[in-house]
């Protein structure tokens, strides 16, 4: 089933996975393949700004790009996404890996002589500790991505440079999952005692990455310098500086005023469009694995009734939603089905149209009035009284939550629901959400990647960690596991197709749009390739300044 030698000299790619099922093969991986038009220059300081201070530095415990952006240049993963090709993995700490014939045992061979920033040498024990820390966090620590590595049954070190991972079942996407940019390798001797105190790596960074943290001043600066003993090709830049400028307009002004060289996180299209007119600046918006879904709480009546959930989906004019909320929240993209926009796993138009309200996606020509009429009929059949009160709690500090909720509440009024929005700060919102104390929420969900196991596993299973609506359906979870283990790409594609059809029928989550992240940088910043994934390619070792 898993021919061991078929791809020995090829890099593993998302495309080859889809085409040949080759991810779980024995591989010898190629080096990063940056195709550069100019000769990179060494030196200089890259000044970057994003949306604020990282709450802490513990990537395993974190789910915010603020932590990941500052941590990524300082850490390494087993494999990494090729800086020039999002679909390809290249070596990082592991110089190669091997998958057993049954696909259940993955063996990573580590590079020798890799040094942590504190001078200690990387060993297989560090990898074992790090992966175990993610999948089974010590008491007092949390691990938002433990589900990603939930298929691991055992991780063990064989000698100093070999790590053997045993899986419960074969998993095609595993190399990408284990190399997720958040799944960095920590120094066991540093992390273990801190973990035992329940503190974790929140206050320090000791990694093996191309840059070393030298200064962290809350509210002011996070500075790192090139790590001269980095195991890979030395970074071009002397220093990286991150500045926590909170407002979009303020970041944009800092870029225009040449105080900074690059900045990220521009949900608002009007800010990007201003930067578009500045000659020395390059701006972009890329789709990222973040969707905005409407999530009914199925434990709360009447949302336990699938007719009510379908009625809600029917009420939504998705085209209008994207046109209205898109420019405010970066929700400019849409997909056909559950996968990323433009995914090879997308459903056909005919298939999408069979689900209530999805025919109003841009270009599909759906009849909004007819949909809403049908929605009212469904509500009546379900015994929902006219004027039924629906309060949508919304997080006030993020447009993708706040503006989506306001738009949806207005649209729900068209089917006779008395919908309103209760805007709260992040703490109050998450407290209610975590307790299941809500009726219906519009939720922006940033996933850890774009592969089927990441999108479907994290976003659409009952155990994936994003089951805010508290649904339970074993058949959905079984379908997920079946596609995850299927080595034949055609069969897997069919299983993913069937999963999407089955899930969409439940209306456990109602997809509204996909988010694109905004970024902008001075034209003197070279060698940074914007990926269709906010978290990818942030190690900055290939970036240089042409000034």
Partner 1 sequence: MLAYIAQRLMTGFVTLFAVAAIVFLVMRVIPGDAAVMMTGAGAGVVSDEELAQVRKKLGLDRAIPIQFADWAGDVARLDLGTSLRTGNPVINDVARRFPYTLQIVIMAMVLAVGIGVPIGVIAARFMGTGLDRAIQAFSIAGLAAPSFWVGLLLILGLVKYFNWSAPLFWEPFWISPLKSMSQLIWPAVAVGLRQLALIARMTRSIMLEVLGEDYIRTARAKGLSEWTVVFHHGLRNGLLPVVTLVGFEFAALFGGLIITETVFSVPGLGQYVVTSILARDYPAAQGIVLILASIVVLGNLAIDLLYGWLDPRTRLQGA
Binding site for partner 1 (CB under 8 A): 47, 52-53, 55-56, 61-64, 139-140, 142, 144-145, 147, 198, 202-203, 217-221, 241, 243-247, 249-250, 253-254, 256-260, 397, 424-434, 458, 464-468
Q: To the nearest whole angstrom, how small is the minimum distance from the Cβ of residue 221 to partner 1?
A: 7
Cα 411 to Cα 99, 327, 396, 405, 419, distances in angstroms: 51, 18, 19, 10, 9
Burial (0-12, 13-18, 19+ Cβ within 10 Å), 69: buried
DSSP string, 517-546: EEEEEETTEES----SSTTSS-S-TT-EE-
**Choice between 85 and 195, CB closer to partner 1:** 195
Q: Cβ 202 to partner 1, closest distance in Å?
A: 7
CA distance 364 to 379: 25
Contacts of 109 (CB under 8 A, 6+ apart): 94, 95, 96, 97, 98, 161, 162
Tell me, letter by letter, the H, E, C secondary structure of 154-223.
Answer: EEEEECCCEEEEEECCCCCCHHHHHCCCCCCCCCHHHHHHHHHCCCCCCCCCCCCCCEEEEEEECCCEEE
| Backbone torsions φ then ψ of 382, nearest 5 degrees | -80, -5
Report how far apart the first and last C-alpha atoms of the chain are (Å, whole number): 53
Nearer to partner 1, 1 or 221 (CB): 221
Closest to partner 1 by CB, 115 or 428: 428
> Toward partner 1, which CB reaches closer, 66 or 510?
66
CB distance 368 to 314 below 8 Å: no
**187 vs 260, beta carbon nearer partner 1:** 260
User: Please, which residues have CB within 8 angstroms of residue 123's CB and are 6 or more apart in sequence?
Assistant: 110, 157, 160, 161
Task: Using the minimum distance from each CB to partner 1, give the nearer residue, 52 or 362.
Answer: 52
Of the two residues 219 and 363, which places its CB atom closer to partner 1 in the complex? 219
Choose between 428 and 502: whose C-beta lies nearer to partner 1.
Answer: 428
- Please, which residues have CB within 8 angstroms of residue 343's CB and are 6 or more apart in sequence? 335, 337, 450
The length of the chain is: 547
Nearest distance from residue 218's CB to partner 1, in Å? 5
From residue 459, how far is each of 88, 395, 451, 454, 468 by CA, in Å?
Answer: 23, 19, 11, 7, 10
CB of 247 to partner 1, least distance (A): 6
> Would you say 355 or 468 has its CB closer to partner 1?
468
Task: With CA atoms as reference, report the closest residue to 311 among 415, 406, 420.
Answer: 415
């Amino acid at each position: 089933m898993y021919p061991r030698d078929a791809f020995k000299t090829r890099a593993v790619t998302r495309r080859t996975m889809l085409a040949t099922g080759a991810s779980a093969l024995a591989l010898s991986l190629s080096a990063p393949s940056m195709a550069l038009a100019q000769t990179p220059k060494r030196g200089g300081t890259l000044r970057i700004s994003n949306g604020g201070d990282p709450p802490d530095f513990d990537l395993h415990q974190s789910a915010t790009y603020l932590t990941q952006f500052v941590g990524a240049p300082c850490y390494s993963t087993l494999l990494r996404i090729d800086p020039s090709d999002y679909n390809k993995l290249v070596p990082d700490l592991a110089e190669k890996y091997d998958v057993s014939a049954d696909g259940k045992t993955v063996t990573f061979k580590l590079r020798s002589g890799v040094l942590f920033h504190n001078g200690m040498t990387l060993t297989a024990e560090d990898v074992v500790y790090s992966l175990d820390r993610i999948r089974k966090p010590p008491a007092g620590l949390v691990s938002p991505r433990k589900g990603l590595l939930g298929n691991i049954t055992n991780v063990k070190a064989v000698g100093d440079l070999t790590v053997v991972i045993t899986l419960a079942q074969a998993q095609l996407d595993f190399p990408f999952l284990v190399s997720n940019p958040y799944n960095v390798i920590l120094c066991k001797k540093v992390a273990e005692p801190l973990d035992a105190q329940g503190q974790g790596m929140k206050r320090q960074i000791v990694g093996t990455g191309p840059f070393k943290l030298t200064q962290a001043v809350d509210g002011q600066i996070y500075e790192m310098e090139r790590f001269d003993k980095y195991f890979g090709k030395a970074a071009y830049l002397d220093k990286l500086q991150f500045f926590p400028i909170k407002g979009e307009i303020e970041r944009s002004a800092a870029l225009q005023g040449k105080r900074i060289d690059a900045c990220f996180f521009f949900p608002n299209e009007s800010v990007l469009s201003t930067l578009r007119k500045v000659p020395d600046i390059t701006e972009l918006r890329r789709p990222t694995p973040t969707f905005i879904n409407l999530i009914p709480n199925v434990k709360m009546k009447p949302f336990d009734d699938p007719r009510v959930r379908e009625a809600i989906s029917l009420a939504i004019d998705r085209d209008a939603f994207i046109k209205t909320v898109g420019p405010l929240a970066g929700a400019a993209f849409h997909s056909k089905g559950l996968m990323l926009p433009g995914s090879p796993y997308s459903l056909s138009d005919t298939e999408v149209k069979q689900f209530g309200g999805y025919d109003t996606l841009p270009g599909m020509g759906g009849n909004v009035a007819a949909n809403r009429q049908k929605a009212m009929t469904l509500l009546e059949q379900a015994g929902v009284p006219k004027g039924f009160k629906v309060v949508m709690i919304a997080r006030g500090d993020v447009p993708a939550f706040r503006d989506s909720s306001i738009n949806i509440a207005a649209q729900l009024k068209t089917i006779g629901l008395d919908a309103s929005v209760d805007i709260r700060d992040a703490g109050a919102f998450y407290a209610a959400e975590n307790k299941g104390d809500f009726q219906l929420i519009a939720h922006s969900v940033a996933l850890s990647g774009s592969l089927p196991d990441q999108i479907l596993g994290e976003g659409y299973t009952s155990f994936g960690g994003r089951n805010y609506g508290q649904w339970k359906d074993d058949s959905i979870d079984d379908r997920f596991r079946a596609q995850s283990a299927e080595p034949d790409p055609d069969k897997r594609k069919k299983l993913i197709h069937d999963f999407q059809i089955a899930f969409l029928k439940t209306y456990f989550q109602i997809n509204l749009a996909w988010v694109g992240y905004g970024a902008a940088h001075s034209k003197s910043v070279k060698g940074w390739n914007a990926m269709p994934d906010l978290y990818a390619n942030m190690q900055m070792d290939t970036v240089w300044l042409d000034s």
